[in-house]
Structures are given as structure tokens and as C-alpha cells.
Amino acid sequence: MPADACPAWGTPLARPVEGSPWRRVPAEGSPSALAQPRVAAGREPGRWSAASTPPAASTPPAPRPGVPRPSALLLALALALCLAVPGLQAAGPGPGPGPGPGSPGVPGAPPPGLLRQAARAALHFLNFRAGSPSGLRVLAAVLRGRAAVDARRTCRVDLEFTAERYGPEVADGRLGRCSARVVFRHQKPRPAVNVTCTRFMETSRRRREDFLLYKRAKRLRAPLGATSIPDSHGWIDPSLRPIWDLAFLGSSYVMWERTTQTLHYYMAQLSSVNQWKTNEDAIDFDYTVLLHEFSTQEIIPCRIHLVWYPGKPLKVKYHCQELHTAQEGSGTEEGSAVAPTQPNNF
Amino acid sequence: MKLILVFGALLGHIYCQETFVGDQVLEITPRNEEQIKHLVELEAEEHLQLDFWKLPTIPGETAHVRVPFVSIQAVKVFLESQGIAYSTMIEDVQVLLDKENEEMLLNRRRQRNGNFNFEAYHTLEEISQEMDTLAAQYPGLVSKVNIGQSFEKRPMNVLKFSTGGSQRRAIWIDTGIHSREWITHATGIWTAKKIVNEYGKDHTLTNILNAMDIFMEIVTNPDGFAFTHSMNRLWRKNKSTRPGVFCIGVDLNRNWKSGFGGNGSNNNPCSETYHGPSAQSEPEVAAIVDFITAHGNIKALISIHSYSQMLMYPYGHSLEPVPNQKELYNLAKDAVQALYQVHGIEYIYGSISTTLYMASGITVDWAYDNGIKYSFTFELRDTGRYGFLLPASQIIPTAQETWLALRTIMEHTLNHPY
């Protein structure tokens, strides 16, 4: 199975894996029960006071009570069928190097490539929503997951994974544990994400670090114009760290929006600081990053404009340049309970 | 000498203060005890934020002080009014620090004690020079073999490690086929040095070299590599051009004759995975094909890339498992385990198409289809945090762990002749 293929719910299954750790969702087939999100979008008490319900961008559309929509019914049916049979678990890698995905293993199990894809999308989304440059996380390891595709080729992935802090160190060992549901629409970007992670840092400490970063940023005279951060040798001047962290925060939004079932991104380099305004309360940062796109290997320059203040939702606009294909992409987000299609007032 | 101390202390300050624009460093020479007393009083003036390295205790001794931009006027007026002699050593500290930073980076690359600095990234010339040095220092073990020329007419050289024999069973290792993957060249040259150091000491390596040869092409894409230094650090392809074609370069890892032109390669010349007009159209690829084919006794091929932390075997162009897939799976598992033991870095492993993505016309697929049963490709550190711009501080750890994996594969090849 290719690294990103979503197993069909009708795929013949091997003998069920014994002692499966995956909690079985009750297969009553009630559409409303199955269409509701199981886990809340990553949020902490008091943070999203502006939004009392999970933001629309992160959940599949809920059916009107008592009147199941045909698509929800189909989905429910597909899920009921695949959830009732316990064969669809990937052999979790656990600590240490991962076993081969193409191994003579369980046919029908979701390829770890797909699970990693989902984990990355979930983390980009989480990083963006949290709006905290001190609390940025990256994928450590996928623990377990399941996936199924429906008749419309929508691929739903449920998974658990560990995440670690994004920082200059290779790894400081502290892991947070996350669970997520990621739904990839066929060939389309902007997967729907529901994700929660355990904290790897006390909230008060993270807030303090954000505020310290904010203070450093306010005093910082950024190198305006073309730049290379990191430089060719991978070096980032420690004094410029706040710029890098904020650049990554803004890029998280872009990378989440662009991720599909088959495409994913890393931030390769900050190539230009167009504007760095700190004279008002918020940090107003206009910059260009180079995103590295898998599996095409392309380097995508994206111009991003963000406004950040500690504790407030991130405001971000962007425009990515496509070099040789016709597709260009742009987007904008307030970072609060705003549906994705509404124009931003930023 | 004093200047170096000043700079050293200043550099230490970088981490506390972001910028020194406009700051000056003054050299002050008090003539008598009273002037010394004035300087002590000056230092005590907190609002001036003066940074004295040393307060003189006897007349005639000099003091160096960094004066923040905002205080310069006040300090100079004071010194002049007291008749204290001073001169401006540094007009603008920030300018100096910027240059120093540049030099610091440059120094990292320069040879220490005349030896090649393996902890830094190097230019094409520096790597070529070290290759020559190794061949000159270990003539009984290392020789340099030219296998052809790149598109821009740069020589393509391969290091041959051999303890004798003729056309022995051999292992081929290449690094740098994608020029932006700098960690691979750095790992390659470190590995070359490791081999010459360990022959006769490391039991496993000695056994390997007593029976087999090792060929290593470190800069497999010299034109691209030069370009990453001069113009575009993130350049991937070679530098070939064709009349009427708007974009430059072919992805050398899509140009091989195995599943050429299939999924996971692109026929758009502007694409990063452009496979080229035809299989083996690129001189860099043709040279290797000719060499390996003419040699006829290559038993393992390892092509090293970055990044993703993966160890993989064919196929990339198809989901179909290779006949000895179980053996390759187990060997990859052992190699990755050996790698993990060094620094705890986790690699994943499997076939290319099921682990990474579909890719057609790749090196290892061609090698496998041409009878090289043990064909592997590495994707070295990291998993995206720095990606291609892996900090130089990770070169040695990466090379150390990769060596263990390479040795595992080579040992298996030695013990399973075919």
C-alpha cells in the first residue's frame, strides 16, 4: 500500500489483531452520535473565551438534530462497518526505530505514512490555534491509528501520537501525548482537524515565556530585507530566535491550509523580513518563508503577514507563489470563531 | 591581543543585548591618581551604562570601555573637561561584530592545525583537496578514480578503498546526488576518513576490506553543489541546459533507467523532480552507469540523501515487493538498530514506495534491476526541524551513527556472496 493510501472500508481484512488497544466506538449507527466530534479542538480553559463552541473550521458540519443528512448517513454507515471489525490497526512503532510499513504485516492497516501525514496536519493546526511561539510542537512518533475512506473518497484518520517541543535543541526528551481526528477531503487541502494534546509545559510557564519572547521581540531590531535564517550552515543567531519562532507560528497556518492527503510541508528558511513593527502593542511581522513541499520536493516561497500579541488569537494573511504550475494560493484567518469562507477584517 | 579579548567579551554580550549599533570602544589613559579617581566615579554613574573591561589602578595604565551610543557625547565631554587622554578604538561596535560573526563562520570551515575540519560544511574545492590528501596519505589503501565530467565540465572523482586484488567484489556509496543535501557530503568525507583510520583496528571493517573494495563518490552532483555555495542554497538538480528549454537542471535521482518517466517523476523541466529528456541523459548519471557496468562486480549500492531519517530499499517506481524483500527488510532493521544505539536517533525503514513515496527512475531501482541485490538509500537527519539546513554541530553525530548502519550493510554483503 502506498505511504499515503487510505484503506477502503471494504478491503478484505486479515485475522483481527489480538488485544487491540483501540477503544471501540458503539456501532449503533446513529448518525448524530458519530458525526459529532469526539474530542475538543486543542484549547485550554479561559483561552478561547471569544468562541464558546469549537470553531467551525475544525469540525465536520453537524447535522440538524433529528434529521440526518444523506452524506452523514453514508459516513455513519461506512464508519459503523469499519469500526465494527477490529482489524484496522497499524502495528504501533513504540519506542525505538519504526518497523517497516511495507512489511509482511496486516493488510488493510493504515500505512504509517498516512498516520504521519495526519499527525503533521494536526500539529500545524494545533500550533496555529494555540498562537503561542513558546509552545510550538512537532511530531515525535505515531503511536497508533486507524483510517477509513468513504464513497466520496474522504479519508478519516483517528490517531494517537507523541509530540515534542519545537526548539533549537535536537530533542529535550519531554513528550506530550496527542489524540486527533483528521479528515482529508479527496485531493483537497485544509483537512478538518480535531486535536488535543497533554501539556508538556505548565500553562503559566508558557505564558511567561511568551511574554518574555514578546519583550525580546519588542526590543529587537530585525534585519530588514533579504536574509537567510538559518544561514547555509544551519546557524540561527540566538538573538533572532523570536523572529524564527514567530515565523514558524505564522507558517503553521499556511502549512495546515496547504496539507492534503499526499502533500506536506516543512519550513525550510526565512528568506526575507519585509516588515517588523513593534511600536504598537502587537508585533506586526511581514516576511517571506521558503516551504519545502513533499513529495514534489518543490520550494514554495510564501509571503506571510501576521499580527501577534501574547494570549490573543493569531491574525495571519498569506500568499504563496507557485513557480511552474498555475496554482497559487492565499488565505487569511482571524484565529477565532470565524468560518473559513468569511473575509477577514484584518 | 587585547583586541581579541575585547571582542571575546563583546561576543559574550551578544546573548544579553541584541544590538550595539553606534556604540564605541574608547581607550583611556589616565595620567595621575586624580584622573583614575575620576574614572572610578564615571564607572559608578549607572545611567551611562558604561562597560569597563578593566579599571586602571596606576597612572599610565590604559582602560578600555564600551560606551553605549546614547552616552558617547556625555563621556567625551567629561573626559575632555578633565584633560583625560583617550582615543576611539572602535567607531561602531555593531559593524565589527557583524564582520566578526562572518569570520567566525568562515573560521569554522577553515582547517584547524592544518587538518580538515570535519565539524564544518565545506566547498567543492575543500572536499576535493581532502580527497587528494587521503589518497596521498594512504597510498596503499586509497586511490582517486576519475569516472567522467559533469555537465559544466567538472571532474567526477571517486575514492577507491582497496587492499589489493583485481576487480574484487565491491560496494558503491554515493553522497550528494542532490546538491542541497549538504549533510550527505559531510557524512561522506567523514566516512572516508573513518575508513582509513579504522582499517586494521575495527575487526569488521578490516574483514570487509580484506575481501572487498569500497567505492565512494562524495560529490555526485558537483555543478549543483557549486551552485548551492554561490547562488542558491536550496538547489537540488544538476545544471544541465537544453536549447529552447526555459528551466535548468534535471533531478539526477529520476534519470535512471528503471521505471523511467513513471509516477513520482515529472516531465516538466521546471519541476524539482524533472526526469530529463531520456534515461541516463545526464552525464553525472551516465558516468556512474558506465563505471558500475564496466566494473561488473558491484555487490551493494548505497545512495545517501537527506532528510527524513529513513533507510529504504527498492522499489520506488512500483509497489511490487522485490524478490528478496524479506532479507532487505531484516537487514534494514538491523542497520537502523545499530544506528539507533549511537545517539538514540530513530529511523523508519521499508521499501521506498511504501515508506516515503512513489519515485521513478531512481538510483537504487536501477541498481537492483542490474543485479545489485543489496541496494539501499538513506535519508539522513533530521525530520524537518532544520531539514536541508542541518546545523554543522550535527555533522559528527550524524556521520557516527550512519557509519554503524553502513558497516552493518557492508558486513552482510561480505557474508552473503552471490
Tens digit of pLDDT at every position of chain B (418 positions): 555 555 555 554 444 444 677 778 788 888 888 888 888 888 778 778 787 665 666 677 767 677 887 888 888 888 888 888 887 766 666 665 565 556 555 555 555 577 899 999 999 999 999 999 999 999 999 999 999 999 999 999 999 999 999 999 999 999 999 999 999 999 999 999 999 999 999 999 999 999 999 999 999 999 999 999 999 999 999 999 999 999 999 999 999 999 999 999 999 999 999 999 999 999 999 999 999 999 999 999 999 999 999 999 999 999 999 999 999 999 999 999 999 999 999 999 999 999 999 999 999 999 999 999 999 999 999 999 999 999 999 999 999 999 999 999 999 999 999 9
Residue B296 backbone zone (phi > 0: left; psi -120 to 50: alpha; other: beta): left
Task: State the smallest CA–CA distance between residue B326 and chain A in angstroms.
Answer: 8
Q: Are the beta carbons of B234 and A295 separated by less than 8 Å?
A: no
The residue of chain A nearest to residue B119, with distances taken between CA atoms, is: A233
The residue of chain B nearest to residue A298, with distances taken between CA atoms, is: B272
Question: How much is the pLDDT for B68?
Answer: 82
Report the residue of A123, A137, A235 to disrupt the B interface, i.e. the one with the largest count of B CBs within 10 Å. Answer: A235
Q: Are the beta carbons of A166 and B321 separated by less than 8 Å?
A: no
Task: State the smallest CA–CA distance between residue A190 and chain B in angstroms.
Answer: 20
Burial, A198: exposed, middle or buried (Cβ in 10 Å; 0-12, 13-18, 19+)?
exposed
Task: State the smallest CA–CA distance between residue A332 and chain B in angstroms.
Answer: 25
A 250-269 → B contacts, CB under 8 A: 262, 266, 268-269
pTM over 0.80: no
Q: Does A299 touch chain B (CB under 8 A)?
A: yes
Q: Are the beta carbons of B382 and A297 separated by less than 8 Å?
A: no
**Distance of alpha carbon B50 from alpha carbon A207, whole angstroms:** 33
Q: Are the beta carbons of A233 and B357 separated by less than 8 Å?
A: no
Between the alpha carbon of residue B144 and those of residues A114, A334, B98, B134, B172, the distances in Å are: 44, 60, 40, 9, 14
Cis peptide before B162 (omega within 30 of 0): no
**Distance of alpha carbon B238 from alpha carbon B42, whole angstroms:** 62
Q: Are the beta carbons of A233 and B19 separated by less than 8 Å?
A: no
**Distance of alpha carbon B354 from alpha carbon B341, whole angstroms:** 25
Closest CA relative to residue B171, chosen from B280, B261, B301 = B301
| Number of CB pairs, chain A paired with chain B, less than 8 A apart | 152
**Residue labelled with grid coordinates 538513506:** B378
Question: How much is the pLDDT for B83?
Answer: 86
Q: Does A47 touch chain B (CB under 8 A)?
A: no
Q: Which residues of A touch B264 (CB under 8 A)?
A: 295
Choose among B21, B354, B389: nearest Cβ to A268.
B389
Q: Is B181 in the active site?
A: no
Contacts (Cβ under 8 Å, ≥6 apart) of B267: B261, B274, B275
Beta-bridge partners for A332: A317
User: What does the CA dihedral A252, A256, A260, A265 come to, rounded to 10 degrees?
Assistant: 0
Choose among B121, B236, B271: nearest Cβ to A233.
B121
Q: Does A297 touch chain B (CB under 8 A)?
A: yes
Query: Quick one: cell of B282?
Result: 545526464
Q: Are the beta carbons of B386 and A297 separated by less than 8 Å?
A: no
Report the residue of A170, A227, A300, A327 to disrupt the B interface, i.e. the one with the largest count of B CBs within 10 Å. Answer: A170
Q: Does A21 touch chain B (CB under 8 A)?
A: no
Asked if residue A284 lies in contact with residue A277, where contact means CB atoms within 8 angstroms, the answer is yes
Choose among B105, B272, B385: nearest Cβ to A297.
B272
**Distance of alpha carbon B167 from alpha carbon B213, whole angstroms:** 8
Query: Quick one: cell of B184?
Result: 550527505
**Distance of alpha carbon B323 from alpha carbon A131, whole angstroms:** 50
Could you report the predicted ipTM of this complex, rounded to two decimals? Answer: 0.75
Q: Which residues of B touch A112 (CB under 8 A)?
A: 348
Amino acid at B216: M
For chain A, residues with pLDDT lower than 50 are 11-96, 99-105, 326-327, 335-346
Report the residue of B107, B309, B357 to disrupt the A interface, i.e. the one with the largest count of A CBs within 10 Å. Answer: B357
Question: How much is the pLDDT for A312?
Answer: 93
Between the alpha carbon of residue B292 and those of residues A199, B144, B169, B220, B254, the distances in Å are: 53, 16, 12, 14, 18
Q: What is the DSSP string of B292-337?
A: HHHH--EEEEEEEEESS-EEEES-SS-SSPPTTHHHHHHHHHHHHH
Q: Report helix, strand and coil shares of chain A as percent, to nearest 5.
A: 25, 30, 50
Q: Are the beta carbons of A100 and B346 separated by less than 8 Å?
A: no
Question: How much is the pLDDT for B55?
Answer: 60
Question: How much is the pLDDT for A32?
Answer: 32
Q: What is the DSSP letter of B111?
A: P
Choose among B182, B387, B392: nearest Cβ to A268.
B387
Closest CA relative to residue B401, chosen from B304, B316, B300 = B304
Query: Quick one: cell of B34?
Result: 586624580
Q: Are the beta carbons of A100 and B348 separated by less than 8 Å?
A: yes
Question: How much is the pLDDT for B106?
Answer: 59
**Distance of alpha carbon B343 from alpha carbon B336, whole angstroms:** 12
